[in-house]
């Protein structure tokens, strides 16, 4: 599929970008990112109540500089606000250029599945359909090859990597919660490693970054990275002998599962029903990938997950 082009449709959040870009790379597509911006009150409407019309989003801005020699053959979307744009754009290009275009949506679109050629959703969502592919956890943009290449630069020291997410509609991610988590890490993990790497995400509140900088300012074995650089993130995962991830992001936990290293999940207190997160964690516990933060620090092994490649191969078999 090397000669095919793709538009990746998201709101720009890391978890969504990771999923669409990961799939595009696994499909060996040429791709560009197209950020979805909704118009006025349409942003509040669920897809099933929204008109399937270009007035809903920044349609004109997206198509005004289309290169006729590089038309997008495939639209890959992720997230609620990319559902309608994916349908509208595929319909527009099909009618305008009289050719075959595909659209692939990642996550439950909460709308008739027949609007998409393929839907990819986590196994714990339990979506069923002839065009639905289920993945164990979230697909993402980190490959086994990247992890193994980064490991070549690892020094002979033991590293604990902590990956921080941020608040969402299920978790407040409060400063007090994070203080408690790092107190636990200090008391139960820190002495077992020669280095602690703390990696922040775009969602990590500034108050928590400031707290961590102040807390560890005189501790030479602790390194805090809030640069958001992808290379640093890959290295932090690849070099880790053990990983701790906050429970707010299935994407970050799925990304960590490419390493094969033991993963502990720091469970946050939920502010609304987090049933989907719990089902996801139950699956990863059954696969022996994760344990809770409080469980014994024994070493364990599991089959590294790279669901993105597996799903991409299934799609290739359908398209080619």
Per-residue pLDDT tens over the stretch 194-248: 999 999 999 999 999 999 999 999 999 999 999 999 999 999 999 999 999 999 9
Higher local confidence (pLDDT), 118 or 126 = 118
State mean pLDDT over 146-170.
Answer: 95
Residue 198 and residue 223 in one domain: yes
* Assigned domain for 235 exists: yes
Same domain as 150, residue 283: yes
Nearest to 106 by CA among 32, 21, 165: 21
Residue 196 lies in a domain: yes
Same domain, 163 and 279: yes
* Confidence label for 41 from pLDDT (cuts 50, 70 and 90): confident
Handedness of CA 171, 232, 79, 313 (dihedral sign): negative
Q: Residues 104, 29: one domain?
A: yes
Q: What are 304's two structure tokens?
A: 């590294």
- 2 confidence band (pLDDT: 50, 70, 90): low
Residue 304 inside a domain? The answer is: no
Distance CA(20)–CA(16), nearest Å, equals 6
> What pTM does this model have?
0.90
Please write the tens of the pLDDT for every residue from 80-93. Answer: 999 999 999 999 99
> How would you label 193-221 residue by residue, b for 16+ Cβ within 10 Å and e otherwise?
bebbbbbbbebbbeebeeebeebbeeeee
Q: Are residues 215 and 126 in the same domain?
A: no
- Number of independent structural domains in the chain: 2
Is residue 93 in some structural domain? yes
Those residues whose C-beta lies under 8 Å from the C-beta of residue 120, and which sit 6 or more positions away, are 23, 104, 105, 106, 107, 132, 133, 134, 135, 139, 311
Same domain (yes/no): 151, 286? yes
Which residue matches tokens 């799925």? Answer: 254
The answer on 157 and 174 residing in a single domain is: yes
Average pLDDT on 18-41 reads 95
Residue 301 lies in a domain: no
Q: In the predicted model, what is the mean pLDDT of residues 44-72?
A: 93
- Return mean pLDDT, the chain: 95
Same domain, residue pair 189 and 313 = no
Indicate whether 148 and 130 sit together in one domain: no
69 has pLDDT over 90: no
* CATH (domain of 91): 3.40.50
| Residue 201 resides in a domain | yes
Decide if pLDDT at 1 tops 80.
Answer: no
Domain assignment of residue 196, given as a range: 144-292
Give the burial class of 59: count Cβ atoms within 10 A of its Cβ; 0-12 exposed, 13-18 middle, 19 or more buried.
middle
Would you say residue 298 lies in a domain? no
36 burial type by CB count under 10 A (0-12 exposed, 13-18 middle, 19+ buried)? buried
- Residue 3's pLDDT is 82
Work out the average pLDDT over 169-175: 95
Q: Among residues of the chain, what percentage have pLDDT more than 70? A: 99
- In this structure, the answer to whether residues 93 and 196 fall within a common structural domain is no
* pLDDT score, position 68: 86
Query: For 269-311, how does the pLDDT look when each residue is reduced to its tens digit (9 = 90+)?
Result: 999 988 889 999 999 999 999 999 999 889 999 999 989 999 9
Q: Which residues contact 34 (CB under 8 A, 6 or more apart)?
A: 7, 8, 9, 62
Q: Residues 129, 155: one domain?
A: no
- CATH code for position 181: 3.40.50.2000
Residue 77: inside a domain: yes
Check whether residue 127 and residue 150 sit in a common domain. no
């Amino acid at each position: 599929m090397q000669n095919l082009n793709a538009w990746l449709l998201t709101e720009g959040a890391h978890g969504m970008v990771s999923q669409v870009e990961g799939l595009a790379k696994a499909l060996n597509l040429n791709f560009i990112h197209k950020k979805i911006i909704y118009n006025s009150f349409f942003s509040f409407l669920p897809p099933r109540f929204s008109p399937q019309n270009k007035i809903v989003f920044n349609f004109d801005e997206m198509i005004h500089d289309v290169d006729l020699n590089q038309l997008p053959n495939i639209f890959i979307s992720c997230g609620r606000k990319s559902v309608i744009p994916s349908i509208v754009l595929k319909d527009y290009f099909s009618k305008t250029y009289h050719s075959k275009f595909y659209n692939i949506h990642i996550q439950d679109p909460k709308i008739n599945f027949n609007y998409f050629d393929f839907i990819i959703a986590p196994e714990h969502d339990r979506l069923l359909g002839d065009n639905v592919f289920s993945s164990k956890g979230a697909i993402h943009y980190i490959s086994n090859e990247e992890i193994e290449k980064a490991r070549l630069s690892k020094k002979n020291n033991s590293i604990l990597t902590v990956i921080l997410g941020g608040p969402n509609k299920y978790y407040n991610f409060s400063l007090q919660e994070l203080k408690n988590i790092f107190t636990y890490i200090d008391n139960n993990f820190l002495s077992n490693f020669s280095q602690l790497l703390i990696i922040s995400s775009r969602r990590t509140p500034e108050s928590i970054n400031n707290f961590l900088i102040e807390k560890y300012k005189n501790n030479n074995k602790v390194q805090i990275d809030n640069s958001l650089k992808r290379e640093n993130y890959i290295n932090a995962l690849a070099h880790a002998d053990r990983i701790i991830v906050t429970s707010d992001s299935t994407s970050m936990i799925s990304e960590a599962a490419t390493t094969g290293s033991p993963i502990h999940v720091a469970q946050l207190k939920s502010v609304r029903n987090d049933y989907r997160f719990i089902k996801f964690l139950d699956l990863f516990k059954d696969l022996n990938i994760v344990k809770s933060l409080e469980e014994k620090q024994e070493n364990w092994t599991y089959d590294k997950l790279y669901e993105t490649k597996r799903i991409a191969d299934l799609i290739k078999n359908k398209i080619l």
